Amino acid sequence: MTTKVPYLHYTPQSIPTPELPPEQEKKRKHYLNHDYGILSWLLTVDHKRIGLMYLVTASVFFLFGGLAVMLVRLNLIVPTGAILELDQYNKAFTAHGTIMIFLFLIPVIPGVLGNFLVPLMVGAKDMAFPKLNLLSYYVWISGALFFVWQLTVGGLDTGWTLYPPYSSKYSHTNVLYAGLGIFITGFASILTAMNIIATVHKMRCPGMTWSRLPLFIWAMYATSLIQLLSTPVLAVTVILLATEKLTGIGIFDPALDGDPILFQHMFWFYSHPAVYIMILPGMGVISEVITCFSRKNIFGYKAVAWSSVGIAVVGFLVWGHHMFLAGQGYYLGMLFSILTMLVAVPSAIKVFNWAGTMYKGSISFEAPMLYTIGFLVLFTIGGTTGLYLGVMGSDIHLHDTYFVIAHFHFTMVGGMLMAWMAGLHFWWPKMTGKMYSDFWSRLAAVVTIVGFIMTFMPQFVLGFNGMPRRYPNYAPEFQFLNILSSAGASIQGIGYVMPLFYLTASLFTGRKAGSNPWQATGLEWQTPSPPPMHNFDATPVVYFPPYEYALPNGLGMLADAGITPGSNPALEPAFAPAAGQHEVSHGS
């Protein structure tokens, strides 16, 4: 029998997929059950499966990075160092920093959510280059495993910044091979970036204009631009460093009148933009979640969209703020200082717009929203403390202290990681078709945020009072705050492990999510969960901007008043907005 399914609950960008009756839903083929067997995963070119592969591997690396830092925090409980030799300490914090940055924060959102969502959100059947996508996964995983292997057999003692001469003359560790690992993972991130940009440009479905793109897409687009333009510079820097290691003399070696500062310039030319590679995707997630759980259109779509591009552009011009004290020159420092003030502007625009979005919204506090609120508060603190560091005068006092550590953990953990958790919880029902425990997920969010504040707030104080970073020992008067910080780290750890359990449990016992559990507007919610092989049963057509949360309320009110399709012919037009109606066969 054919029934007419009008627009009902929320504003679709296209035609909403009606829920099938349970017995049919059970038999429905989707991307998870349409093929079984290990090869159907390892050789898949389906962007959704590749996304899940990234999810599993990136989570494992997150665990590794976390274990490494637990060693560091344990050691810092005692002023003279509790458990580690000096050399081991260097290796532990380097392992933590490199794994977290290169193997987790940089790839996680582009790899998991970017892969999974970009084609869905633009209404495409797959990424522009599906095989390249699979290749980039393998390149990434082999680089990453190689890197981790090097960390376990010899370790790396340079810090994630790899500055020569720590990394050349004075290193006893496998800088060469570790550098190769980083080089390879960088190649993968370039390939992913190409794929995403090409998908956004060329694969949008009918009606998906640039001004109707979800802000997550804008953010991913800007991120990919940065990856495309900055990663090759890191690659060539690593090659130059490797040449130095191989020949025993080198380009950055002052003995030859080479210049170690040049390494720092080239490194930060990549790595400052890289901090935006890490945060921008998170910002994209926040825009999606905050509109949904405030039931409001985004405040200032264009401002949020273009500020992503602004960050991408200005982010390339501020690398020198990491080198105020490295001897880069006084006037250069002033210039970088001013530009650093400038780069905070687009981030601030976003924060204000998110606050504006929440203003007078109907806010509900499910787990994704809790993480998002955590993001807003913590990232704002992280960003504003960045300004203290960007002012040359105060940076002289704060450089290379725990203040810097606290700053970037507020942005990268308080910002990016919260956003990642928000995104994971937000789209988990879409990926798996299952809902997780509401209670446990909210609890995990709260535990994580509380643990986070306890870990990193003390570090601002420590740094301000002069505790340097990367030292295994410290003055006895810092002990209390260090213990507080270590205790907070354990609480945080619990907060990160909890999702492992309730998310896994949801796969087996979770209730069905349905196509749109959050009543959200994006295209990805218009297709069943988990989505079918090629994402949509019919090519979607888009008629609306992405966050029309205002419209459905009108229809919802009609429904509340008992006015439903067919109840009153005079009101019928209300149920037939631009997208028209959709014929659906119910095999009743």
Partner 1 sequence: MAANAHAVEEHAGPAGPVAHHFNNMRQQQATVRFGMWLFLVTEVLFFGGAFCAYTCYRIWFPREFEAGSAALNVGIASVNTILLITSSLTCTMAVRSAYKAHQAGIKFWLLTTIVLAVTFLGLKAREYHLDYEEGLMPTAKMTVDLQPQADGSYLPQERSVFAMNVEKALKHNHYDTTGVNLGRVQLFFLFYYVITGLHVLHMIIGVGLLIWQLILAQMGFFKYAERHVYIEVMSLYWHFVDMVWMFALPLLYLAGPHTLHQAVEQFTSAVGLATGGSH
Residues in contact with partner 1 by the rule CB under 8 A:
124-130, 132, 190, 193-195, 197-198, 201-203, 228-233, 235-237, 239-240, 243-244, 247-251, 256-259, 262, 266, 269, 532-534, 536-539
Q: How far is CA 344 from CA 39, 175, 334, 356, 405, in A?
A: 46, 34, 16, 18, 18
Choose among partner 1, Cu ion, ligand HEM, none what residue 190 binds, the Cβ cut-off being 5 to 8 Å by kind: partner 1
DSSP 76: T
With respect to ligand HEM, which residue has the nearer C-beta, 328 or 479? 328
Neighbours of 397 (CB within 10 A): 13
**Interface with ligand HEM (CB under 6 A), residue from 215, 404, 419, 431:** 404
Which residue do the tokens 């506090």 mark? 365
User: Which one of partner 1, ligand HEM, Cu ion, none is in contact with 587 (Cβ closer than 5 to 8 A by kind)?
Assistant: none
Least Cα distance to 482 among 417, 406, 408 occurs for 406
Closer of 307 and 516 to ligand HEM (Cβ): 307
- Binding mask 340-369 vs ligand HEM (x if CB under 6 A, - otherwise)? x--xx--x----------------------
Residue 201 near which of partner 1, ligand HEM, Cu ion, none (CB within 5-8 Å, type-dependent): partner 1
Return the H-helix or E-strand segment holding 441: helix 438-464
Q: Where are the beta strands (DSSP E) in 205-295?
A: none
Q: Which of 295, 350, 399, 425 binds ligand HEM (CB under 6 A)?
A: 399
Q: Which amino acid is located at 395 in the chain?
A: D
Q: Given the complex with Cu ion, which of 219 and 314 has the nearer CB atom?
A: 314
Among 275, 339, 406, 453, binds ligand HEM (CB under 6 A): 275
Angular region, 4: left φ>0, alpha ψ -120 to 50, beta rest: beta
Q: DSSP labels for 460-513?
A: HHHHHTTPBTT-S---GGGHHHHHHHHHHHHHHHHHHHHHHHHHHHHHHHPPB-
Q: Of the candidates 72, 178, 392, 412, which one interacts with ligand HEM according to CB under 6 A?
A: 412
Q: Give the Cβ contact number of residue 78 at 10 Å.
A: 15
Residue 187 to residues 137, 161, 235, 240, 245: CA-CA distances in angstroms? 10, 19, 8, 16, 21
Residue 407 makes contact with Cu ion by CB under 5 A: no
d(CA 253, CA 268): 18
Of the candidate residues 91, 265, 272, 295, the single one contacting Cu ion (CB under 5 A): 272
Which residue in 72, 278, 369, 373 binds ligand HEM (CB under 6 A)? 278
DSSP 2: E
Residue closest to Cu ion (Cβ): 272
The footprint of ligand HEM on residues 158-177 (CB under 6 A) is 161
From the CB of 521, what's the least distance to partner 1, in Å?
22
Q: How large is the C-alpha radius of gyration of the chain?
A: 25
Which residue's CB is nearer to partner 1, number 194 or number 283?
194
Residue 266 has phi, psi (to 5 degrees) of -70, -40
Binder among 370, 389, 418, 558 for ligand HEM (CB under 6 A) = 389
Provide the greatest CA pair distance for the chain: 88
If the CB atoms of residues 340 and 485 are measured against ligand HEM, the closer one turns out to be 340
Enumerate residues 305-324 that contact ligand HEM by CB under 6 A. 321-322
| Residue of minimal Cβ distance to ligand HEM | 386
Catalog residues that contact ligand HEM under the rule CB under 6 A: 161, 275, 278-279, 321-322, 340, 343-344, 347, 383, 386-387, 389-390, 395, 398-399, 404, 407-408, 411-412, 415-416
Catalog residues that contact Cu ion under the rule CB under 5 A: 272
